Structures are given as structure tokens and as C-alpha cells.
Structure 1
Amino acid sequence: MNIVVLGAGAIGGFYGAVLTRQGENVTFIARGKNLEHLQKHDLHIESIWGDFSVPVKAVPADDIPSLDPCDVVILAVKSTALMNVMPQLKELLAENTKILCLLNGIGNEEVLAEEFGAERVIGGSAFVSTIFEKPGLIQHVAEGKIVMGDWTKERSKLVDQLAEVLTKAGVEIEVSDNIRQAKWEKLLWNICFNPITALTQTKVGVALKNQDIYPIMKRIQSEYLAVAKAYNIHFDPEKADWIFEENEDAGNHKTSMLQDFESGKKMELDAIMGYVIKLAHEKDIPVATIETIYHLLRFAENEANKN
């Protein structure tokens, strides 16, 4: 399978490396120091599945027109960069190319479907904890499962082929016939943990055990579930509470939003919180806790960018 990874950071770099090790034809679209490193050195993965290094093919976006047509684009940029990479995506799409969207939050697949057609979009959620330590080095510290499915709800042969390829590479795959539900389920964890850990500068385990933080996360959960219900997204009560189960992997996890804030990068506030707030307003559902944390983080981000 001919695969292009657009977004060679923590998520894209990890899955792209795993597929490369399996022998798939993978091309990374990269930039800056990361591109320079990958063109000269192996990509090294420090993983709970076992450390490994692989030589990879990495090219700049300017080289996209010279690439062979690809079967799948694994889209793994930050949701904040989605609109910036739309021209690159357009160049990558051959007649039958599909896009596996592994972006955080909800609303991204809708943007892709409107621009390129729903039949090209594979919705996806990566249940994985990875850290982009530096160019050429990615740490894989927890999980690794991908849930994915055709955005049209009509299961395609390519999705099954991609699932088989990823499974052979060692990735746990679930092909969902209701990927929208799966995306909302993934966002439940993200919206409860990402914003509050970024705001309080804490890891997940600290937030779970802290008597000041934990009740706030429960209020976020309650508001989010109310919005989901209004849009016919229903959660099993046990599944809704699994996010608060303590385990060693989760306890040591530093959320992507906290990583972005610490490194001075733009946080995925709109994909994780803003879109939910928008949907809540359309149904007149109060989400005061989510809105408060959203605006506090927006303020903190803007202040940090001034320095």
C-alpha cells in the first residue's frame, strides 16, 4: 500500500514508522529541522512495544507533485493547522485516494468532507500517548489503538485493506460502522483531561487524585454528555466513566494540550472545546464550566504569545 503521512510529529511519525518497519511504502511530508534530520538519519521510536529505528523517506511539501499517486493519506497534523494543509491535501489526492483523519476533536472530518467529498474521508481516533521529543525521536508511552471508519457509513474495501496493513504492523484496529459515535467517545476523554491539565500544569494522574481538580472534570463530563445527547450521541454510563479509572499509564501521561502550552505551540482549543461550545449554543444547553476553562486557556495562550 502506498501511504503518505502528512504531519510527521508524534502521532504521524509513530504510526508511519511502524508501517515503514512492516515494509509498507510510506512517505513523510515534513518540514524544518525534522525534515533535515529524517533525510539524513533514521527515525527512532522509544516504545512500550520495544524500541526500534527505521530509515524513512521524507520530503518537503514542495515535492508533492513529483510523488507517485497514493492510496491513503494519514492526516496527523494539529487541528489548528488543518486549513493550512488543505492545499497540500488537494495535491496528494489521486482518483481513489482516501484520507485517514487522526486529528483531535470533532468537526475536522466535516471540513474535509465538505472540501473533498465524504467518500474520500475515513474518520479516525488514535488512542495513543506519544511525545515528539526532538527531530528524529518519538516516545510511545501508552496504548496505540486506532478506531476508524468510512465517513459515508458505507464500508469500503480500502478501509478493510488499511485495517489489515495496520494490524500486520502490530497496531490494534477497530473498524467502526458509526465513526461519529467513536469520535465523540474519544473526545469525552480529551475534553475532560486536556484543558484542565493544561490550565493547572499537571499530569493526568495528579488531576485524577486532586480534590480540587477532579470535581471540575466531573462537571465538564456532565455538560459534555448533555450536548452529546442533544445530538443523538448516547453514552453507556459505564463507558462514560471509564475515563476516570486510574492506571499507571494514564497517571504518567502528559496531555497533548499541556505539551503544546509548555512548548509555546497553539493549543487545539477549538477542536476540543470550541466546537462543543458552538453546538451547545445552537441547542441552548448551558456549558458554563467548559466555556470558563476555554476562555481562561485562550487568555493564557494569548498572554504567552506576547512574551
Structure 2
Amino acid sequence: MSGEPATDNFDTMSDTPILIAGAGAIGSILGGMLHDAGHDVTLLGRPAHLEAIARRGLRISGLLGDRIVAGMTLADDPARLGRRFGLIVCAVKSYDTESIAAALADRLSDDGAIVSMQNGLGNIESLIESFGRRRVLGARVIFGAEIPSPGSAHVTVFAQPVAIGPAPAIHREDSPALAARARAIAAMIDAAGVPAVAVDDIMPVLWTKVLYNVALNPLGALLQQHYGALAGDPDVRPIMDSAIEEAFAVARALGIALPFSSAAEYRKVFYEQMIPPTSSHRPTMLHDLHVRGRTEIGALNGKIVELADRLGVSAETNRILTRLVRAAQRVTEKKERR
């Protein structure tokens, strides 16, 4: 039932304590909307953001509507979480997945679920190491948000519903039960005002977003340009085409059931349908590169290179983009030390 709106098993989620592990822009929006819909939500995030929320509530604005949400439980340290949760939404940066999983390993109830709502590849596998196959789901988030100031979260772009589901190639015999759980979680999120659907296999959906990200994120970060400018530049567009071509070949070699017959078919959809509604958007990698000095390049283009090397597939464009972003990270680090 790929892409089917979720309606069954909804009641099983009504009293479930929810932890948003990583209350950045996406996590704050999701947590705030769920709490506003009557759910018991705890936000785990950075002190400055949480302190502002404690003082005046979480201010949500943008494409999902404007509201102020108060009354959520707030924590800036996993050690201060005093209970277990039936649902954990993992929304941290991909490079923090292993550390947050270790910190929260005993915070998920025995019959609970943790959902990776993160960029890139490898997050599901990392969470399984700490929580086991039966309690981990994947999700594709393709709406854009930002924190304009501590205590605020603004939705800038909403391209498609959040998709939640298992990865049958990884979960194997546990997939049917996890698919049912994904339907319940997606129904709850959808009812809270964040469009969401359940899918029976999350991997083709994740890979479709990866194809989008490997083309746009590193170049948007390096050139400090929005997506429309990248697609319209005659020197940049061939680089994006090559990055997509390589990532598509890796997905094919892995047996991922992409909903496109070829990379050329995907690129047509990419330029004609995906880019236009997000034309003015800039990647979060741009902010991460110049403000944090650390990006998720390892889970995106870097992961394509890692998989390509293992499979004997060429990925030289993705390799160059990965090296350029890592070099740019080092430049930022040197500036911060001065």
C-alpha cells in the first residue's frame, strides 16, 4: 500500500508518550504540531532553543499555519529524561545517530518504535544496532523549515507528505508488523496537521530523496545558491546530472526498486516537477557548513562513494563533491579557531 494514507490502528497511538530526539527545525515543527493535537510530547534539544520555548512557548509559522504551543516537556540532556517512550522520533543530524542511539537505548519502551526522520543513508542500520530490527522504522521528510530565532520554527517549503515505513531488505520477517505500526504513526502525524503517509518499503522513497540531495546539497552549500539558480546554471547542471547518474547506478546495483526506469527519467521529473516548487530554497547544508562547520555529506554523497566502491561502480563526481565539502568544512574550522 505504498503511499496510502494511514487510518488503521490510530487509537493505539493516542496515549503514547512521544520523544522528539533532535528539536531542530523539523523536530520542533513535528513535536509542536503533535502536542497541539493533544499528544504527550517531550522535546530533546539545544538549551537556548528550549529556554525560549519554556519562556513563551514554541512559535510555529509558515506553510502549516501559525500557532504558539506551550506545555511540552523540555530536556537538553538525555540523562535528564525521567521515563520511557512509546515513540521516539530521531531527528538529529546523521553524524549524531550513533551517539543519540546509545544515549536513548533504555528510553524506548519494549513495545515502542523509533523512527529515523533524517537525511541520507545508513541511519536505519545505525539505529538497529541499538534498538533491534523490530523497533526501528525509516521516514522521508521532504519539507523545509528553519529556526529564525530561538523558540521559533518556520516551515518554508512543503513538497510532499512525510512517508514512514519499514525496509523489507533489512527488516525481513518483521516487515509486515512494522508496516502496520508505520500506518498508525503516519495516521497520528497526519491527523495532527502534518501530511503523512505509510509505505510498505521506505528505501525507494529514501533513495528518491537521496538522488535529489546529492545533486543539490553540496553545490548549494559550496556556491551559496538556491536550487533554481543551480538548475539554471549551464556549468552546474552537468555536474548535478552526473551526481544523479552515479547515485542511480548505485541504487540499481543494490536492487532498490526506484519508481523510475532510468536516470534520464528521474532527471526529467527532478528538473520539471521537483525543482520548481523549491526553487528559492537553499540546502540546510549551506547553514551547517558555514555556521556549524560540519555537514551530513558523509551520509549523502559520501555514502554513494562508499557503496560505489564496494559495488565496483564509478562515483567520481560524488567523490569530488564529497572532498570539496570536507575541505570547506576544514576552512570553516580554521576560521573558528582564529
The TM-score with structure 2 as length reference comes to 0.86
**Counterpart of 1:244?**
271
**Counterpart of 1:85?**
100
Match for 1:148: what amino acid?
I
Q: Whole-Å Cα distance in 2 between the matches of residues 18 and 27 of structure 1?
A: 12
**Counterpart of 1:154?**
176
User: Per the alignment, in what secondary structure is the counterpart of residue 167 of structure 1?
Assistant: helix
User: Per the alignment, in what secondary structure is the counterpart of residue 263 of structure 1?
Assistant: helix
Query: Is the CA contact (8 Å cut-off) linking 2:64 and 2:194 kept in structure 1?
Result: no
Match for 2:270: what amino acid?
I
Q: Alignment partner for residue 196 of structure 1, among 186, 197, 219?
A: 219
Identity across the alignment (%):
27
User: Per the alignment, in what secondary structure is the counterpart of residue 147 of structure 2?
Assistant: strand
**Counterpart of 1:58?**
74
Cα offset, 1:49, TM superposition: 2.6
Match for 2:321: what amino acid?
I
Q: Whole-Å Cα distance in 2 between the matches of residues 33 and 279 of structure 1?
A: 38
Query: Is the CA contact (8 Å cut-off) linking 2:102 and 2:130 kept in structure 1?
Result: no
Q: Alignment partner for residue 132 of structure 2, among 104, 108, 117?
A: 117
Q: Does 1:5 align with 2:20?
A: yes
5+ residue gaps, structure 2, are 1-15
Q: Which deviates more from structure 2 when the two are superposed, residues 162-171 or residues 142-151?
A: 142-151
Query: Is the CA contact (8 Å cut-off) linking 1:149 and 1:155 kept in structure 2?
Result: no
**Counterpart of 1:301?**
329
Q: Whole-Å Cα distance in 2 between the matches of residues 5 and 62 of structure 1?
A: 11
User: Per the alignment, in what secondary structure is the counterpart of residue 82 of structure 1?
Assistant: helix
Match for 2:73: what amino acid?
K
Query: Is the CA contact (8 Å cut-off) linking 1:64 and 1:91 kept in structure 2?
Result: no
Match for 1:228: what amino acid?
A
Match for 1:242: what amino acid?
V
Q: Does 1:104 align with 2:132?
A: no
**Counterpart of 1:29?**
44
Q: Whole-Å Cα distance in 2 between the matches of residues 123 and 290 of structure 1?
A: 24
Q: Does 1:272 align with 2:300?
A: yes
Q: Whole-Å Cα distance in 1 between the matches of residues 97 and 207 of structure 2?
A: 19
**Counterpart of 1:169?**
192
Query: Is the CA contact (8 Å cut-off) linking 1:260 and 1:266 kept in structure 2?
Result: yes
Q: Which deviates more from structure 2 when the two are superposed, residues 239-248 or residues 159-168?
A: 239-248
Kindly tell me the number of residue pairs found equivalent between the two proteins. 306
Q: Whole-Å Cα distance in 2 between the matches of residues 297 and 62 of structure 1?
A: 30
Q: Whole-Å Cα distance in 2 between the matches of residues 86 and 178 of structure 1?
A: 23
Cα offset, 1:283, TM superposition: 1.4
Match for 2:176: what amino acid?
E
Q: Deviations over 1:104-161 (max 9, x none)?
A: 0011101111222111101111011111222111110111621111242224343222
User: Per the alignment, in what secondary structure is the counterpart of residue 26 of structure 2?
Assistant: helix
Q: Structure 1 residues 134 and 46, CA, compared in 2 at 3 Å: closer, same or farther?
A: same
Q: Deviations over 1:160-193 (max 9, x none)?
A: 2212111111222221111122111111111111
Q: CA RMSD in A?
A: 1.7
Q: Whole-Å Cα distance in 1 between the matches of residues 99 and 79 of structure 2?
A: 17
Q: Alignment partner for residue 288 of structure 1, among 316, 326, 329?
A: 316
**Counterpart of 2:7?**
none
Match for 1:306: what amino acid?
K
Q: Whole-Å Cα distance in 2 between the matches of residues 141 and 65 of structure 1?
A: 31
Query: Is the CA contact (8 Å cut-off) linking 2:183 and 2:197 kept in structure 1?
Result: no
User: Per the alignment, in what secondary structure is the counterpart of residue 245 of structure 1?
Assistant: helix
Q: Whole-Å Cα distance in 2 between the matches of residues 265 and 52 of structure 1?
A: 32
5+ residue gaps, structure 1, are none
Match for 2:165: what amino acid?
G
Q: Whole-Å Cα distance in 2 between the matches of residues 302 and 72 of structure 1?
A: 37
Q: Whole-Å Cα distance in 2 between the matches of residues 248 and 241 of structure 1?
A: 12
